[in-house]
């Protein structure tokens, strides 16, 4: 599916620690497809590797790019095309280490976990630095590499909102992945490709339904949205949807948003919009700005402060949503909610675990974590 970039804007222009972008797409005018999605679904983007990454690989392998290569999924292409569009260069798939160990006897990783640990934060240039003998394989070396995967993004808009503007659109919120490792600056392939896109540019991607991150069937059911960083994305879609429901005179249940970022002044994502939604009685916001004071404050702290309120909401059949980082946010939010279950519901740890599982099974606790 082709998407046209309508707007691409950095929403944290003054941030010291990260660049977060909000990008909106439409379908090409000649397209006979429709933008069919619901808040909570995903958009996928098929990225292209940066010219810098492609040039670095060509130089390391002493290739011009005009050579040909037959790729399993894409057929016969030039090496330039393979590196630009078809092969994963910014990530080192642990499966490559496994194949090199088994087939060439390179490396002595004890198990898959050791390979995963090694691969994390490394890319294909690191692999060539580790085993310079692989460079002599030239074009053949590319056969070890994995196909370039599409990246998933939580949709940050509602179709009703975009339909009311006449043109169908879909938006995403993403962080430009940029980090220093082993003395080299690294850039995530998709987020940096997206960051550089211009209005009118055509990108390849798709829409993927996410049946386990959906607003309640009844608009009157209360909701609790918990997110940090780009984890705010689906909640923008949820709020746009509920604003339309409110305008249509529907009876809406309460909505709470718990959101965490680094600094209030520069990283309060969609703050004006949420302030307006709060004024309209659509949501109540609880913010945690982690770096605005000496001690870290996270959404988990804000949840604990509202323990009795959250417990009441759970008893009123509220639905809970968690979105953001798997490793950081999801763990600490689970811990906070488990403490609330134990304190407010007089549960043992085991009972709280069972209650957590039960909420998940009943889809009253839905997670979009990555």
Ligand X SMILES: Cc1cc2nc3c(=O)[nH]c(=O)nc-3n(C[C@H](O)[C@H](O)[C@H](O)COP(=O)(O)OP(=O)(O)OC[C@H]3O[C@@H](n4cnc5c(N)ncnc54)[C@H](O)[C@@H]3O)c2cc1C
Q: Which of 125, 170, 189, 203 binds ligand X (CB under 6 A)?
A: 189
Q: Which is nearer to ligand NAP, 290 or 353 (CB)?
A: 290
Q: Which is nearer to ligand NAP, 97 or 226 (CB)?
A: 226
The interface partner of residue 48, options being ligand X, ligand NAP, none and the CB cut-off 5 to 8 Å by kind, is none
Q: Which residue is nearest to ligand NAP (CB)?
A: 229
CB of 200 to ligand NAP, least distance (A): 27
| C-alpha dihedral (279, 322, 253, 171), degrees to nearest 10 | 60
Buried b (16+ CB within 10 A) or exposed e, 52-90: ebbebbbebbebebeeebebeeeeebebbbbbbbbbbbb
Strand partners, 5: 25
Residue 24 binds ligand X, judged by CB under 6 A: no
Instruction: Give, as ranges, the residues between 37 and 56 that touch ligand X (CB under 6 A).
Output: 42, 47
Residue 121 binds ligand X, judged by CB under 6 A: yes
CA angle 45, 207, 188 (to 5 degrees): 20
CB of 42 to ligand X, least distance (A): 6
CB of 232 to ligand NAP, least distance (A): 8
CB of 229 to ligand NAP, least distance (A): 2
Length of the chain: 370
Question: Which among 98-106, 272-280, 293-301, 346-354 is the span making contact with ligand NAP, rule CB under 6 A?
Answer: 293-301
Residue 175 binds ligand NAP, judged by CB under 6 A: yes
The DSSP secondary structure of 111-124, one letter per residue, reads: SHHHHHHHHTT--H
**Residues touching ligand X, count (CB under 6 A):** 23
Q: Which is nearer to ligand X, 39 or 188 (CB)?
A: 188
Give, as one character, the DSSP assignment of residue 146. P
What is the CB neighbour count within 10 angstroms for residue 268? 19
In terms of Cα–Cα distance, which of 168, 147, 40, 45 is closest to 96?
147
Q: Which residues are CB-contacts of 174 (< 8 A; sequence separation ≥ 6)?
A: 20, 21, 23, 153, 191, 194, 230
CB of 40 to ligand NAP, least distance (A): 17
* Cβ atoms of residues 135 and 144 within 8 Å: no
CB of 292 to ligand NAP, least distance (A): 10
Q: Which of 92, 252, 260, 306 binds ligand NAP (CB under 6 A)?
A: 260
Q: Which is nearer to ligand X, 6 or 67 (CB)?
A: 6
Residue 88 binds ligand NAP, judged by CB under 6 A: no
Residue 120 binds ligand X, judged by CB under 6 A: yes
CB of 23 to ligand NAP, least distance (A): 15
Provide the strand spans (E) within the chain: 2-10, 20-26, 42-46, 68-71, 75-78, 151-154, 170-175, 178-181, 184-187, 202-208, 223-228, 255-261, 284-289, 319-324, 365-369
Residue 234 binds ligand NAP, judged by CB under 6 A: no
Q: Which residue is nearest to ligand X (CB)?
A: 188
Instruction: Give, as ranges, the residues between 310 and 339 that touch ligand NAP (CB under 6 A).
Output: 324-325, 327-329, 332
* Cβ atoms of residues 165 and 11 within 8 Å: no
* Cβ atoms of residues 322 and 226 within 8 Å: yes
Q: Which is nearer to ligand X, 213 or 320 (CB)?
A: 213
| C-alpha dihedral (288, 294, 295, 296), degrees to nearest 10 | 40
Residue ranges that bind ligand X, judged by CB under 6 A = 42, 47, 90-91, 120-121, 151-154, 173-175, 177, 179, 181, 188-191, 230, 233, 370
Name the residues that contact ligand NAP, by CB under 6 A.
Answer: 18, 175, 177, 228-230, 260-262, 290-291, 296, 298-300, 324-325, 327-329, 332, 370
């Amino acid at each position: 599916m082709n998407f046209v970039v309508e707007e691409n804007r950095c929403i944290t222009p003054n941030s010291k620690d990260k660049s977060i972008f909000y990008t909106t797409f439409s379908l090409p005018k000649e397209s006979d497809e429709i933008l069919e999605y619901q808040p909570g679904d995903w958009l996928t983007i098929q990225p292209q590797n940066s010219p810098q990454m492609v040039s670095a690989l060509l130089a390391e392998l002493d290739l011009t790019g005009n050579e040909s290569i037959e790729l399993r999924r894409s057929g016969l292409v030039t090496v330039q095309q393979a590196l630009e569009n078809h092969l994963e260069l910014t990530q080192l798939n642990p499966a490559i280490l496994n194949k090199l160990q088994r087939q060439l006897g390179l490396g002595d990783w004890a198990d898959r976990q050791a390979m995963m640990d090694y691969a994390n934060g490394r890319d294909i240039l690191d692999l060539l630095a580790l085993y310079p003998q692989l460079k002599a394989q030239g074009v053949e070396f590319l056969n070890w590499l994995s196909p370039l995967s599409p990246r998933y993004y939580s949709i940050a808009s509602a179709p009703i909102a975009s339909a009311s503007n006449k043109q169908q659109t879909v938006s995403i919120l993403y962080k430009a992945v940029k980090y220093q490792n082993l003395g080299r600056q690294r850039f995530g392939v998709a987020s940096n490709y997206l960051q550089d896109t211009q209005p009118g540019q055509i990108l390849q991607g798709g829409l993927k339904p996410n049946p386990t991150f959906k607003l309640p069937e009844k608009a009157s059911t209360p909701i609790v949205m918990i997110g940090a960083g780009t984890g705010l994305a689906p909640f923008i879609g949820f709020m746009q949807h509920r604003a339309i429901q409110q305008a249509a005179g529907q009876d809406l249940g309460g909505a709470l948003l718990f959101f965490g970022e680094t600094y209030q002044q520069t990283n309060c994502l969609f703050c004006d919009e949420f302030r307006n939604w709060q004024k309209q009685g659509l949501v109540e916001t609880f913010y945690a700005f982690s770096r605005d004071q000496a001690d870290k404050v996270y959404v988990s702290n804000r949840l604990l402060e509202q323990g009795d309120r959250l417990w009441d909401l759970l008893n009123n059949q509220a639905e809970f949503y968690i979105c953001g980082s798997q490793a950081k946010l999801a763990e600490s939010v689970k811990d906070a909610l488990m403490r609330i279950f134990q304190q407010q519901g007089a549960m043992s740890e085991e009972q709280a675990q069972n209650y957590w599982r039960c909420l998940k099974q009943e889809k009253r606790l839905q997670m979009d974590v990555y």
